[in-house]
Amino acid sequence: MEQAWIPLALTLKVAGWATLITMVLGVALGYLLARTRFPGRDLLDAVLTLPMVLPPTVIGYYLLVLVGRNGPVGEWLLGAFGIHLIFTWQGAVLAAAIVALPLTFKSARAAFELVDPQYEQAARVLGIGEVAIFFRVTLPLAWRGILAGVLLSFARAAGEFGATLMVAGSIPGKTQTLSIAVYEAVQAGQDDLANFLVLITSLTCIAVLLAAGKLVPGRVPERS
């Protein structure tokens, strides 16, 4: 079963980076959407939610068009930094991050909306600046809800298939994650390998879901 550990390690690496990126982006976007009003707010929410409802292959196609060699972003990345994302593990990270983002920013938004603005006001009159208020009051009170979303997005990123295959392909040891390895094993008739891959994938996801379930109810700060 030697062949199973390489895709597992790669999956954890890709999902880990994707989760880190979606966490930072998702918390920022969730805060923006929960605490500020601006024209186009609902549209932004809808666009960011798209990866949750669009078929992953469509997301993958969008990404190919954008970051491919001739895409506007891809051309810039290559010219300015010499970065090429297509058929690399970094490309797989990008695909997984886009697909997992809605889970993080939706739960971050909900968690921030549950924080009573009165705590922030109390900090304000105590002389604390806005940035410090975010890190000392708002974020700690929303943290559990955000973390639950982060864990779900890790599970989602680890299980990503369609967009990853389109953007990063299926290069063993390089971009072949667990979900893609399962597909390849079944196609090749390697039932034992497929069984083993499916088993470790399922166990990983169950562990993540259990952890998320412990966090979801959260301690909602009481008012009085």
Partner 1 sequence: MAMIWDVDLRHRFPGSTHSFELDMQFRSNRRRLVLFGPSGAGKSLALKMIAGLMTPSAGHVRLDGDALFDSIQGVNLSPQRRGLGYVFQHYALFPHLTVSQNIAFGLHRGLVNPRRSVHLDTVSRWIKVLHLENVANQYPEELSGGQRQRTALARVLVTEPRALLLDEPFAALDRPLRRRLREELNELLSRLDIPLLLITHDEDDVLTLADAVIRVDGGRAGEEFDPANLSA
Work out how close the CB of 114 gets to partner 1 at its nearest, in angstroms, rounded to a whole number: 12
Binding flag, residue 36, partner 1 (CB under 8 A)? no
Q: What angle do CA 27, 30, 36 make, to 5 degrees?
A: 125
Question: Should residue 116 be labelled a site residue for partner 1 when binding is judged by CB under 8 A?
Answer: yes
Nearer to partner 1 by C-beta: 120 or 184?
120
* Closest distance to partner 1 from the beta carbon of 195 (Å): 46
Q: What is the C-alpha to C-alpha distance for residues 32 and 143, in angstroms, rounded to an integer?
A: 16
122 binds partner 1 (CB under 8 A): yes
Q: Output 82 or 127, the one with its CB closest to partner 1.
A: 127
Residue 190 amino acid letter: Q
Residue with tokens 């094993």: 185
Which member of 55, 140, 172, 173 binds partner 1 (CB under 8 A)?
140
Question: CA-CA distance, 144 to 218, in Å (whole number)?
Answer: 6
For residue 141, the minimal CB distance to partner 1 (Å) is 6
- How many CA atoms, within 13 angstroms, populate the side-chain half-sphere of residue 81? 7
78/105 Cα distance (integer angstroms): 29
> What span, in angstroms and rounded, lies between the C-alpha atoms of 86 and 206?
31
Tell the smallest beta-carbon distance from residue 115 to partner 1 (Å). Answer: 10
Contacts to partner 1 by CB under 8 A? 116, 118-119, 121-129, 131-132, 135-137, 140-141, 219, 221-224
